[in-house]
Amino acid sequence: MKTNKLISSFAAAAVIIGTASAASNKVEWAEITPELGFLEQAPSGLLSLKRLEEILKVGEALFVAKFTTGDGAGRPAATQAIDPTKVRHQPTEPFARLSGPDSLACSSCHNDPLPGGAGGFVTNVFVSEGFTNANFDTSDPQFSNERGTNHLFGAGLIELLAREMSADLAAIRSGALRLARQKSEPVKVALESKGVSFGALTVLPDGLVDLSKIDGIDTDLVIRPFSQKGVMTSLRQFTINAMNHHHGMQATERFGSRWTGENDFDEDGHFDEMTPGDISALVAWQATLPAPTIQTPASNAWKQAARTGAELFNDWSCNACHRQSLPLKSLVFSDPGPYDAAGTLDNKQVRASAEYDLNLMEWAQNLPKDEQGQILVPLFGDLKRHKITDRRIATLGNELLSQRFVGRDVFMTSELWGVGSTAPYGHRNDFTTLDSVILAHGGAARKSRDSYEAATEGQRSALIAYLKTLVIEK
């Protein structure tokens, strides 16, 4: 009875306080993000351009919003970990430059040359698993990996490519399983999608799969195209991670009561901080960001140098990993997508995903196509991980911690589209020039790098001229 009275009293009090809050939240100058919670449910079905534009407005607003404690920013009781994890010791300060939360807005870091872009050295983030030593306060690499901020332009195309490649590889595995069972003998198959080799599988007749010869991909054969390590499956997953890590804004689809038993896992007094709709809007905005382009230089000298540089790029086999383009069959982006796991909504967790055709975007209509009608996505990458250091050239192996099963000297090929707009370079933003980051390539890229080093000054300059044409248009 006492408990009931207490709850009733509190409910009344909450309504009174809430009424005041509601009133104060209605004013134009309220210190909250009004677009938050605007879309409670994730959109579903095929979206018209009009509907998509409505969602994009919300998405952009959330991307540039400076989240406040009134929104639920901060996570006093939760770490930056991807799996919901409670802190062992509550932090004394709401912000922590190293372990986070370290910013109010996505665009605080992703802003060069536009919101959604990259960030300079000052925007570096400190990646740790967030399980032990979550509250590290040193940039000592034994506690975290320091990483530069990547740009997000063309991210929707990247995710679509990754999905098609993951489907290709799964189909190869299924075919091998069928064949091995039919023939009652082991079957070895090459793993290749869109011309990119991911090693080989050996499939035994009883359905066991030997994965020891796969290359540059996770053992479940899912391409995880995001992050410098290639360990994030989707924009949706990355968004949820980043919202918690950098802002302390927790998405219900990972931190909500279904998984944690709490509606306020970070114990900041705000329940269900980010709805599935909020995350969907952010995903849509990022997925529809235009692809970077190849700029035609204004001067003839630059034009000529860039032409030469393009030839050298191929001659030196830079394109072995930085492939100028990969073919994409469909521009229809679905969110939630097919490859996420529980904790990030996927297409099996919802009645129907939202589908939007990137071809609705003007920028997408200008993308080149091949003879089969496939879109040639000019990413300058292969969505594969490579070892990037060797005994002599080891600068890029400057991390001490492996990240999510990926070794410290292995990284996803950086997509070079937009590289002309997003200095500095390297996964830690260590390099002020393209020249210096090229010379830091070792391991799988060593031969190309050596060709560059051995080239004439003019040839090297020509390659830089070419790379400088890969820009994000303002």
Partner 1 sequence: MNRLFKLTVGCLALGACLGNTTAAAQKFLFDVPHMQEQAVTAGLIHTYDGPWEFFVGGGVASFDCNGDRMPDLFLAGGSNPAQLFINRSLVAGELKFEKTSIGLSDRDASRVLGAYPIDIDSDSHMDLVVLRLGENIILNGKGNCQFTKANRTFAFDGGNAWSTGFAAAWEKAANYPTLAIGNYVDRSAPGSPWGTCEANVLHRPMESGQLNYSQPYLLQPGYCSLSMMFTDWNKSGIPSLRITNDRQYYRGGQEQLWRIPAGSTPRLFSRSQGWKPLRIWGMGIAEADLNQDGYPEYALSSMGDTMLQTLDPDAEGERPTYRDAAFEKKMTAHRPYIGTDLKPSTGWHTQFADFNNDTRLDLFIAKGNVEAMPDFAAYDPDNLLMGDANQKFHEQGDKAGINLDRRGRGAAIADFNADGMLDMVVVNRKGPASLFRNHGAKTDWGHRPMGNWLAIELNNGKVNTFGVGAKITIKTGNVTQSRMVQIGGGHASGQAGFIHVGLGVAERAKIRVQWPDGDWSHEYRVFANNFVQIPRGKPDALYWYPQPSNP
Distances (CA, A) of 392 to 269, 442, 450: 53, 8, 12
Options 153-161, 205-213, 353-361, 440-448: segment touching partner 1 (CB under 8 A)? 205-213
Based on CB atoms, which residue is closest to partner 1, 46 or 320? 46
User: For residues 264 and 245, what is the distance between their CA atoms, to the nearest angstrom?
Assistant: 16
Residues 161-190 binding partner 1 (CB under 8 A) are 173-174, 177, 181
Nearest approach in angstroms of CB 409 to partner 1 is 17
DSSP states of 375-442? EEE--S--S-EEE---SS--TT---SS-BTTB-TTEEEPPP-TTGGGS-SBSTTS-BSSHHHHHHT--
How many CA atoms does the CB half-sphere of 205 hold within 13 Å? 6
Q: Which of 60, 102, 112, 129 binds partner 1 (CB under 8 A)?
A: 129
> Does residue 401 interact with partner 1 by CB under 8 A?
no
Options 112-120, 185-193, 213-221, 297-305: segment touching partner 1 (CB under 8 A)? 213-221
Which helix (H) or strand (E) is 196 found in, with range?
strand 196-203
What would the two tokens of residue 280 be?
Answer: 């969907």
Query: What is the per-residue binding string for partner 1 in 31-70, x denoting contact by CB under 8 A?
Result: -x---xx--x------------------------------
Based on CB atoms, which residue is closest to partner 1, 289 or 406? 406
Which pairs from 127-130 meet CB under 8 Å and 24+ separation? 127/403, 128/80, 128/99, 128/401, 129/81, 129/82, 129/403, 129/404, 130/79, 130/80, 130/81, 130/82, 130/85, 130/99, 130/245
Query: What is the per-residue binding string for partner 1 in 83-122, x denoting contact by CB under 8 A?
Result: xxx-------------------------------------
Query: What is the per-residue binding string for partner 1 in 216-245, x denoting contact by CB under 8 A?
Result: --xxx-x----------x------------
- What phi and psi, each to the nearest 5 degrees, are found at residue 260? -110, -15
What would the two tokens of residue 272 be?
Answer: 């269900």
Residues 1-20 binding partner 1 (CB under 8 A) are 3, 6-7, 10-11, 14-15, 18-19
Based on CB atoms, which residue is closest to partner 1, 76 or 297? 76
User: For residues 246 and 127, what is the distance between their CA atoms, to the nearest angstrom?
Assistant: 11
Query: What is the per-residue binding string for partner 1 in 266-305, x denoting contact by CB under 8 A?
Result: ---xxxx--x------------------------------
Nearest to 63 by CA among 112, 9, 110: 110
> 235-242 and 276-287 helices cross at what angle (nearest 10)?
120
Given the rule CB under 8 A, which residues bind partner 1?
A: 3, 6-7, 10-11, 14-15, 18-19, 21-22, 25, 32, 36-37, 40, 81-85, 129, 131-132, 173-174, 177, 181, 206-212, 218-220, 222, 233, 254, 257-264, 269-272, 275, 341-343, 348-351, 404-405
